[in-house]
Structure 1
Amino acid sequence: MENLLGLLRIHVEKGVNLAIRDVVSSDPYVVIKMGRQKLKTRVVKKNLNPEWNDDLTLSISDPHAPIHLHVYDKDTFSMDDKMGDAEFFIGPFIEAVKMRLSGLPNNTIVTKVLPSRQNCLAEESHIMLKDGKVVQNMVLRLRNVESGEVELQLHWIDIPGSRHL
């Protein structure tokens, strides 16, 4: 952990228009993976538009490593069904954190990340200041599935004694 830059708190807000994997609905949850780290939200029963509002925290040592997001349908008697996946990068977010812009007004947009073939963004993502902290809101379009999006918000947490950005 000597290469630790800080912590990335991922607020997994909600899913929108997720795919049906059971008879009429699904019991979705999200798994976030980065390197050997694997974090999971709670399961929301029978809901294609779940509101998780769960905070998951990753230790960041390589700001260029992709973060993988997978949505699954919880099943009791069989393997959980895949409900799509997405991938995102935190490079632009880390660059904004490095600027140390705490003196700017609330909701100042620092930079925008546009949807492209290289990312899973469903719409333009804003990196902005909120209460003196850099946050990024993103809507990820799920791949390998007929429909679905997941809304996230990223927050950076500095760790005393970690190597600085």
Structure 2
Amino acid sequence: MNPLGALKITVQRGIDLIVCDAFSSDPYVIITAGSQKLKTRVVKNNINPEWNDVLTLSVTDPNMPIKLNVFDKDTFTKHDRMGDAIIDIKPYIECMQMGLGDLPIGTAVKKVQPDDDNCLADESKVIWTGKGKMIQEMTLKLQNVERGKVQIKLEWLDLPGCRGLRS
């Protein structure tokens, strides 16, 4: 299947992640979509890690679930799970498909509220950045764990030769 384009996901930071080892954790994030699997670097001894790692997924189907998993790197044992979340890109894709003209830079095109169908910890906005581009920053509440959040930023990349979102 031909890609529509690429989704640049900046994994910014973790907030109040659980402690997996004696005093801290060595967290990293894995993002999976279909057969694609991308990983951030490991931040040692930190439950509030700053990654700012940019991961780029090829998108063939905007409805394909994108999963975010946080793990604690262990040297001699299996890596511990520190929670997971689903990244819902549908509101972002809908905004990209609107074919908007020139808006003032910084305009919130859409506000997405946390609900039972997404993993948002708080309101997320799709922001117009100019020249047909938008970003969406979101704080995801990790599931299957007592606490922890991960902040990410989405940005669409049109790829040469791809049909894109607007067609």
> Shared topology, TM-score over 0.5?
yes
Give 2:129's aligned residue. Answer: 130
Could you tell me how far 1:102 is from its partner in structure 2? 5.5
Amino acid at match of 1:99: M
SS at match of 1:153: strand
The corresponding residue for 2:13 is 14
CA distance in 2, matches of 1:38, 1:110: 30
Q: Does 2:103 correspond to 1:83?
A: no
Residue 64 of structure 1 corresponds to which residue in structure 2?
Answer: 63
Secondary structure at the residue paired with 1:70? strand
Q: In the alignment, what sits opposite 2:104?
A: 105
In the alignment, does 2:28 pair up with 1:29? yes
Range 92-101 or range 39-48, more displaced: 92-101
With the length of structure 2 as denominator, give the TM-score of the two structures.
0.95
Show the counterpart of 1:40.
39
Is the 2:69–2:81 contact (alpha carbons within 8 Å) kept by the matching residues of 1?
A: yes
Change (3 A) 1:102 1:71: farther
Percent identity over the alignment is 54
Per the alignment, residue 95 of structure 1 pairs with 94
Query: Is this contact kept in 2: 1:86–1:143, CA < 8 A?
Result: yes
Cα deviation code 1:38-82 (max 9, x no counterpart): 000000000000000000000000100111000000001111000
Code of the residue aligned with 1:30 in structure 2: it is V
Q: How many residues align?
A: 164
CA contact (8 A) 2:8 2:155 kept: yes
What residue is the counterpart of 1:160 in the other structure?
160
Structure 1 segments of 4+ aligned residues over 4 angstroms from their partners: none
Q: Would you say the 8 A contact 2:20–2:80 is kept in 1? A: yes
Which stretches in structure 1 are left out of the alignment for 5+ residues? none
The letter for the 2-side match of 1:66 is P
* Structure 1 position 24, deviation (Å): 0.5
CA distance in 2, matches of 1:58, 1:142: 21
Change (3 A) 1:62 1:25: same
* 1: CA distance, partners of 2:37 / 2:66: 10
Q: What is the aligned-residue RMSD (CA, Å)? A: 1.1
| 2:112 counterpart letter in structure 1 | V
Letter paired with 1:134: M
Contact 1:84–1:143, Cα closer than 8 Å, also in 2: yes
8 A Cα contact 1:65 1:89, kept in partner: no
Shift of 1:3: 2.2
